[in-house]
Amino acid sequence: MKRIALGLQYDGSSWQGWQTQLHGKTVQDVLEKALAEFCQHPVETVCAGRTDAGVHAFGQVVHFDTTAERELFSWVRGVNAHLPSSIAVRWATEVEGGENGFHARFSATARTYHYLIYNHPIRSPLWEKRAGWAFRALDVDAMDRAAQSLVGMHDFSAFRAAQCQANSPIRTLHRIHVQRQKDLIAVSLTANAFLHHMVRNIVGSLIQVGNGNQPVSWVADVLESRERDLAAPTFSPDGLYLAKVDYDERWGLPQVESDLPFI
């Protein structure tokens, strides 16, 4: 038995999130079906971070155990031959297995998400399901200044979904940055881990600052309150991308950056 780690990209628009469901319309369901066909035995996968319906990934990482003997390049080309066009394996590598071996979720040291906002008075069909849409002009500088109050170790209860199953709301946000390129705004966040809907709730609140509905200091006040009702509503999943998962160098995984050149 060997353990294989895969780097995965997917367009989440047509999928009901990562985690397997009875209807089978999830990324995990489709990937495991493709792997089973390629390996010729059932396969169970573990991912670095479960994404919601409509959320995309540049750098999802998964691992699974298999008895199949394949060349590394075959894991990429062979599995992709069984996957739809919206999901692709980008790289594969063999890692240490067993109880103390590599684990896609628990071995991760940090995760980076990007949220893309199309900021224009008129919606664009080209960014449909690829970016959230804000029709009022946004002050990116104000959004970035407000965002810096979130950096560090905090109780993020104010930005946590009611159905979040995490044992603790404490997370360490290493970095957050808001920048614009023409009509596209990118919010980039790196943390040790994220709560359910944490990124989308933060983005929704930053937009309230950007459009002038709230002052820069409001985001810090919301964080301090720990009250979800005081933050903005959860923003659309359309513009959310799992961009990168960091691991210790000893695992030898490719540390793939996002395909967005201005982030």
User: How do residues 78-127 score in pLDDT, each as one tens digit?
Assistant: 999 999 999 999 999 999 998 889 999 999 999 999 999 999 999 999 99
* Domains identified in the chain and CATH numbers: 2-106 (3.30.70.580), 109-242 (3.30.70.660)
| Predicted model pTM | 0.94
Which residues are annotated as catalytic?
52
Burial 94-130 (b: 16+ CB within 10 A, else e): ebebeeeebbbeebbeebbbbbbbbbeeeeeeebeeb
Instruction: Read off the pLDDT of residues 9-50 as tens digits, 9 standing for 90 and up.
Output: 999 999 999 999 999 899 999 999 999 999 999 999 999 999
Residue-level pLDDT at 99: 85
